[in-house]
Amino acid sequence: MTSSPVSSLPRKAPVYGLDAVRLLAAVLVVVYHLGFKVWAIEGSMLNAALGAVIAYPPGWQLSWCGWVGVQVFFVVSGAVIAYSAQGVSARSFAKRRAARLLPALLIACAIAFPVAVLVFAVPPGQAAWLALKTLTFMPWGPWIIGQFWTIPVELCFYAVIWAMLASGRAARGMQALAWGLGLASAGYWTAVATGLLAGGGRLTELLLFQHGGYFAIGMLCARLGNGDLRRRHLVLALACVTAAALQVREAASWEMAGRADLAGRWPLAYGIWLAITALVALSFLYRDAIAVRAKRFSGALRLAGLSTYPLYLIHIHVGGAILLAAAPLGPVPAFLGAMAGSLLASLAIAAWLEPPLHVVVRAAIGQVGRRAMALPRLRAG
């Protein structure tokens, strides 16, 4: 069966390739934290608990740059939101995002709190405060889940999309937003690269200057599924991939915490990001062909995609606790056990624990929405 680049399926047909990409991105991050950072980066939470340093743990040639999975997540988020928000009301969009984010976060915090206290020796009062900051989506850290820093960045992107939907200008606004995010991010990183600005800072993350190019290129990938990508969009794509190169180079120095020997290898991390981003684009370009071939595995693919968010949230506390317990066996057995435990726990959360919580969260959101809508009528009466 031949495939056409422009999908003949409904506009919101499942994009099964993204589920595989999500899982790959999450695994990259987990491999970095549990296979490299815990052993090689002094001062990290897990390394402090481990109390040992291996400058070059087994498999370091690939594991050291697994942090680039975060950049992949931003691309996927831009693509998914641009694709799924078409024709959706602002209220429906907000409900869906809340129902997607909250259940796994509740479970992850319930896991993280006792592990932080009992394994990482965080004082209970401090752990409770960090958990509260996490559950209330405080944009400034620290949080009980360190990698949570990306979620407020995502929320800022969602907020812009919601505002467009609420204004009724989403159709035209989406394209303008992609251009704005991409060019602003390219300009920001060019200024950093030329010394006009100092890179970093939480505010520039929340304002989407640092990662806006990733969201923008994801939005361009989503357009491939509808066949409406034009030549002018190549200019935007070039700006985004240039911004990504500059951002990855800077991120390499941040992540390596003074490891100049590895920070200088940033082109490898960038190449991995570029290759996986190409997979995101292909997932939309050949959406129909992939859907036909993946039909018998659609349930497994969907579960894999749903498990990536819990995996991202829990792997430090679940996998880290296993790794610390198994550390006397050596880095390889400890890492494999931590990986297996993290994956199994995330699958269990996605398959059994999240679904009933989704129902509860959706009902609660609906009730809040109905009460909010009833207030004006009560005041008028």
Please give the helix or strand (H or E) that residue 311 lies within, else none. helix 298-326
Average pLDDT, the chain: 92
Neighbour tally for 305: CB within 10 Å: 23
Full 3-state SS string of 240-294: HHHHHHHHHHHHHHHHCCCCHHHHCCHHHHHHHHHHHHHHHHHHHHCHHHHHHHC
Q: Residue 8: what pLDDT?
A: 36
Q: Whole-angstrom Cα distance, residue 9 to residue 378?
A: 45
pTM over the 0.85 mark: yes
**198-219 average pLDDT score:** 97
List of residues 6+ apart from 187 with CB closer than 8 A: none
Does 378 score more than 70 pLDDT? no
Full 3-state SS string of 211-246: CHHHHHHHHHHHHHCCCCCCCHHHHHHHHHHHHHHH
**365-372 average pLDDT score:** 73
Ranking 94-108, 257-271, 292-306, 363-377 by mean pLDDT, the lowest is: 363-377
Question: Do the Cβ atoms of 211 and 184 come closer than 8 Å?
Answer: no
User: pLDDT tier at 225 (50, 70, 90 boundaries)?
Assistant: confident
Q: Residue 208: what pLDDT?
A: 98
Q: Whole-angstrom Cα distance, residue 176 to residue 127?
A: 42
Closest by CA to 46, choosing from 37, 35, 55, 54, is 37
Does 58 score more than 70 pLDDT? yes
**156-162 average pLDDT score:** 97
Does 373 score more than 80 pLDDT? no
Does 85 score more than 50 pLDDT? yes
Closest by CA to 75, choosing from 212, 184, 174, is 212
**214-243 average pLDDT score:** 93
List of residues 6+ apart from 48 with CB closer than 8 A: none
pLDDT tens for 166-195 read 998 887 789 999 999 999 999 999 999 999
Does 243 score more than 50 pLDDT? yes
DSSP readout, 103-130? Answer: HHHHHHHHHHHHHHHHTS---HHHHHHH
Q: Whole-angstrom Cα distance, residue 73 to residue 148?
A: 13
